[in-house]
Amino acid sequence: MMKMMRLNHLMLPAILFCCACEAFAEDAKPNPVVMGGTAATPEAILTLMHRVNDWQIAHPYQKSYKDCNWIRGTWYTGVMAAYRATGDKSFFDQGLAWAKEKKFGIGYERSGLNRLFPADSWCELAMATGDKRMVEKVVTELDTPGPNTPVATPVWYLEDGRRYADSLFGMPVLAKLTQITGDRKYVLWMDAFFRDVDRELWDSEEHFYYRDKRFIGVKTVAGKKSVWSRGSGWGYAAIARVLEVLPANDPTRPRFVERFKQFSIYVASTQQADGLWRPNMADPADFPMPETSGTAFFCFGLLWGINNGILDRATYAPVARKAWAGLVSNISGQGKVLYGQTVGFKPAVVNQEDSHEYVTGAFLLAASEMYKLAVADKAP
């Protein structure tokens, strides 16, 4: 009896390890609701959106005043996009609850543009309700001289002295502030910012964004460029989101349309056979595993371009649908988006279990546009 008890004691760590592995294996199983092509219907897409969002609600990254940052801001950008696409009020209520919790304040970041990521949700709420008070603190902050405000310095968006593609994702807030307040200075600030970052980081040869200037000229072992998928994805998704807001007659719009079309060609040309992109979109062999955060941004942008008549449907719909199928195949049975690269600034190894709140947000952006496409396809 004593020997049996001692044996059980020795076996306990192994048993616990096996249980943990089984739990992860269960979480990593494909979602049965969305297999077999059923994720192409509006109903299935909405079901999947809720499952992914609910998983993230149950697994928050952090709970503190500092969750008003680019990480959660990106998640909630996806949440509000889900509301606009589907009209499901639960998404609206979730966004409003977070906004009230954070008192509609500015984000906690060093970069002036990154600080605006959470404000994208405040803008969406203000536009949905007509309540301009929701953006008052953001407007006040931008109009107050400081090291990271546009009234203090022309390059208010630098971080560690660098321009970087990630920050482009914050510029739609400026376009939305012009729409909400009627003051065109915000669009002018956005345009000046975009021109400056675009001038330094745009690759005019192949048409993508470097993450920052440190990667210009860097080559992989195979002699190819180092193009971080999520870094470029931030910029691609940002341009689409700016175009969502800019009026058709806005003089800045043609520049964004041109970049978006050029960028789309490169995005489509670097998609892999499984529908996803790799951490280094220019050299898939550099890190050969799939990566879902960059993929979700590309999927969103492609679908948005198709839905809004900027991209040719016959050319790009197969690419977008393939990307969507690839994303769906990497969602666990519980709703976790797998293979989402952790916080970083360059191509790197991605593990199956890796994910984050911004990965969920990027997926919800893509799902929102896929939902719109599915609704249009279903219409008589």
State the amino acid at position 267 in one-letter form.
V
Of 4-8, 112-116, 233-237, 342-346, the one with minimum mean pLDDT is 4-8
> In this structure, what DSSP letter does residue 5 have?
H
Of 33-37, 64-68, 350-354, the one with minimum mean pLDDT is 33-37
> What is the tens place of the pLDDT at every residue in 292-330?
999 999 999 999 999 999 999 999 999 999 999 999 999
Angle between helices 313-328 and 292-307 (to 10 degrees): 150
Label residue 24 by pLDDT band (50, 70, 90): very low
Label residue 29 by pLDDT band (50, 70, 90): low
Give the mean model confidence (pLDDT) for residues 34-39. 47
Of 73-82, 105-114, 310-319, 347-356, the one with minimum mean pLDDT is 105-114
Question: How far is the C-alpha of 331 from the C-alpha of 81, rounded, in Å?
Answer: 19
Position 77 scores a pLDDT of 98
Does the pLDDT at position 184 exceed 60? yes
Position 10 scores a pLDDT of 40
Does the pLDDT at position 61 exceed 60? yes
Mean pLDDT of the chain: 91
Torsion of CA 135, 136, 141, 145, to 10 degrees: 130
Question: How far is the C-alpha of 232 from the C-alpha of 214, rounded, in Å?
Answer: 14
Q: Yes or no: is domain 33-378 CATH 1.50.10.10?
A: yes
Give the mean model confidence (pLDDT) for residues 24-47. 62
Q: Which of 132, 114, 229 is nearest to 176 (CA)?
A: 132
Length of the chain: 380
**By the 8 A CB rule, do 111 and 158 touch?**
yes
Question: How far is the C-alpha of 35 from the C-alpha of 230, rounded, in Å?
Answer: 26
Does the pLDDT at position 82 exceed 50? yes
Label residue 110 by pLDDT band (50, 70, 90): confident
Q: Name beta bridge partners: 332.
A: 30
Does the pLDDT at position 15 exceed 70? no
Position 40 scores a pLDDT of 82
Q: Name beta bridge partners: 337.
A: 331
**By the 8 A CB rule, do 234 and 169 touch?**
yes
Position 196 scores a pLDDT of 98
Give the mean model confidence (pLDDT) for residues 64-90. 94
State the amino acid at position 238 in one-letter form.
A
Give the mean model confidence (pLDDT) for residues 238-242. 98
Q: Read out DSSP for 295-349?
A: HHHHHHHHHHHHHTTSS-HHHHHHHHHHHHHHHHTTBBTTS-B-S---S-SS---
Residue with tokens 């941004």, as numbered in its chain? 297
Q: Is 202 helix (H, G, I), strand (E, B) or coil?
A: strand
Residue ranges per structural domain of the chain: 33-378
**By the 8 A CB rule, do 66 and 85 touch?**
no
> What is the tens place of the pLDDT at every residue in 322-344?
999 999 999 999 999 999 999 99
Give the mean model confidence (pLDDT) for residues 259-268. 98
Position 3 scores a pLDDT of 39
Q: Name beta bridge partners: 30.
A: 332
Give the mean model confidence (pLDDT) for residues 247-266. 97
% of the chain surpassing 70 pLDDT: 89
**By the 8 A CB rule, do 235 and 168 touch?**
yes
Does the pLDDT at position 20 exceed 80? no
**By the 8 A CB rule, do 294 and 234 touch?**
no
Q: Which of 202, 206, 246, 249 is nearest to 224 (CA)?
A: 206
> What is the tens place of the pLDDT at every residue in 264-287?
999 999 999 999 999 999 999 999
**By the 8 A CB rule, do 188 and 134 touch?**
no
Residue with tokens 């002018």, as numbered in its chain? 188
Question: How far is the C-alpha of 216 from the C-alpha of 327, rounded, in Å?
Answer: 29
